[in-house]
Amino acid sequence: MALSTLLASLLCTIVLPVLLLLVALRLWELYWSRGRDPSCAAPLPPGSMGFPFLGETLQLILQRRKFLRMKRQRYGFIYRTHLFGTPTVRVTGADNVRRLLLGEHRLVSAQWPTSVRTILGPDTLSNLHGSQHKTKKRAIMRAFSRESLELYIPEIQEEVRAAVTEWTVKDSCVLVYPEMKRLMFRIAMRILLGFKPEQIRIDEQQLVEAFEEMIRNLFSLPIDVPFSGLYRGLKARNFIHSKIEENIKKKVLESEQGLKHRDALQQLIDSSRKNNEPFSMQAIKESATELLFGGHETTASTATSLVMFLGLNPEVVDKLRQELLEKEEQGMDLQSLNLESLEQLKYAGCVIKETLRMNPPVPGGFRVALKTFQLNGYQIPKGWNVIYSICDTHDVAEIFPNKEDFQPQRFITKPSADSSRFQYIPFGGGSRMCVGKEFAKVLLKIFLVEVVTKCHWTLLNGPPTMKTGPTVYPVDNLPTKFTSYSQN
């Protein structure tokens, strides 16, 4: 009697729930396997849809690159999954990515997950389409023109030099990733949004913490209830908006008094006036938040990767110093850089390109299928999300031999545009290519010049484990000991 009771209890508490879960998973898979478009003869891509409703979102959030690598190894360059509440096809490889990026507005359209669209807002460049996208892009591009970049260089160099000097005098180790985020945040606040240095000092800690909270919850399940990721992300976003609104009001007042500003935020304000559009405070705040995200999160990731790769490859640091010494002997003033001098630093440019190849800060881009179409023998149903993978596409690119090795010299000889166009896409491609890529290149070159000429450094933990959330970062924050280069 006792044994039969025990077996019944075991059946009810363990076996039955497991069987129900397995049945639910099977029904979920069958539901989406029937979700294919019957008008298209091609099959759905291989893959799995994960748990009912949750899909494979939790696995992606927790495992990130490990999850993506496992999926690619199991299913190949095109596979289906279910992420952030939507059936999704993930795509890797130059030919497949080419088809997507050149099929913008015809096959696919840019569409980030619901949580991203909700937190960043509908008026951001990444969420606009058609003429609205073109108009806003033109306004932002003016802030990244050659003339504008030239004006930014002294302020960027000032901020980077102050940070690097601070690192060299610290007795304790520097956690590079958090420090880099603070540095790039200050630069973005000052250059892109026009905040005064004294304003940044007052609000920096609160703004950095709020921005970190927003970024942590940018990719979350689209459930807005207290304590959910989306709820916390929106709360942090609202605080950032309040500070940006204060700055916008100051800018409008100063502009009415005849004072001129050249930052990206001012360009957006001026653009709305030139086009006789009604001034929308909310739209400007959303665009400013997007600029802040794009202008500091990705550069902080890449600058951290630069410190890591150079720390692991001291011979590359020696070559960089040799290039800078030769340029100084030819009359270049490294203490007062300009665009012309930065463009002459060819090897430094190769180091940045190789870093972006191995650790692209943004792992991919989001699209939605406008109609059912075929890709490499599989159907992509209308309405499904499509993610093109930047990191995986770099991993499988045929033009890069010895992919695991950090070899900046591979970029000395420029590959043909046709062969490399979609095998190397750190800034995306097509009409949605990153608008701030030239700004990022300038900023990263200035950072390289300052850190290489001022510092010697040692990675205290060796090669770190890298994760993505939403940009690439070292799990241990890259603890590093900096010393003055002149003392070595």
Question: Euclidean distance between the first and final Cα of the chain, in Å?
Answer: 81
* 346: helix, strand or coil: helix
pLDDT (0 to 100) of residue 487: 44
Whole-number Å distance between alpha carbons of 446 and 162: 13
Residue 488 pLDDT:
45
Domain ranges of the chain: 26-487
* Contact status, residue 400 vs residue 420, Cβ threshold 8 Å: no
> What residue numbers does the annotated binding site for heme cover?
434
Q: Which of these, 150, 254, 237, lies nearest to 195 by C-alpha position?
A: 254
Report the half-sphere exposure of 120 (CA within 13 A, side-chain side).
Answer: 26
β-pairing verdict for 385-389 and 86-91: parallel
Closest CA to 271 of 118, 75, 138: 138
Please give the structure tokens belonging to residue 132: 């609205």
Tens of pLDDT along the chain (488 residues) come to 566 666 666 556 665 566 555 555 555 455 555 567 888 889 999 998 888 777 888 888 777 778 888 888 899 999 999 888 889 999 999 999 999 999 988 999 988 888 888 998 888 888 888 888 888 888 888 888 898 899 999 999 999 999 999 999 988 899 999 999 999 999 998 888 888 888 787 778 888 889 889 988 888 888 888 888 999 999 999 999 998 888 888 888 877 777 777 787 887 787 777 766 667 888 888 888 888 888 888 999 999 999 999 999 999 999 999 999 999 999 999 999 999 999 999 999 999 999 999 999 988 899 999 999 999 999 999 999 999 999 999 999 989 999 999 999 999 987 655 656 899 999 998 888 888 899 999 999 999 999 999 999 999 998 998 888 788 999 999 999 999 987 44
Element (H, E) at 127: none
Report pLDDT digits (tens) over 261-279. Answer: 778 788 778 777 776 666 7
CA distances from 359 to 103, 188, 243, 464, 473 (A): 26, 21, 32, 13, 9
**Per-residue tokens: 422:** 């979609």
The label of the residue with tokens 């490294």 reads 334
Question: Which amino acid is residue 383, in one-letter code?
Answer: G
Which pTM was predicted? 0.87
The neighbouring-strand residues paired with 88 are 81, 385
* Sign of the CA dihedral with 337 first, then 339, 344, and 350 last: positive
Closest CA to 364 of 417, 432, 305: 432
**Which segments are annotated as binding site?**
434
- The yes/no answer on whether domain 26-487 falls in CATH 1.25.40.10 is no
Q: Rounded to whole angstroms, how far apart are CA atoms 309 and 354?
A: 10
**Contact criterion met (CB below 8 Å) for 381 and 36:** yes
Compute CA 108 distance to the chain's CA centroid, rounded to the nearest angstrom. 21
What number of other Cβ atoms are within 10 A of residue 414's Cβ? 8
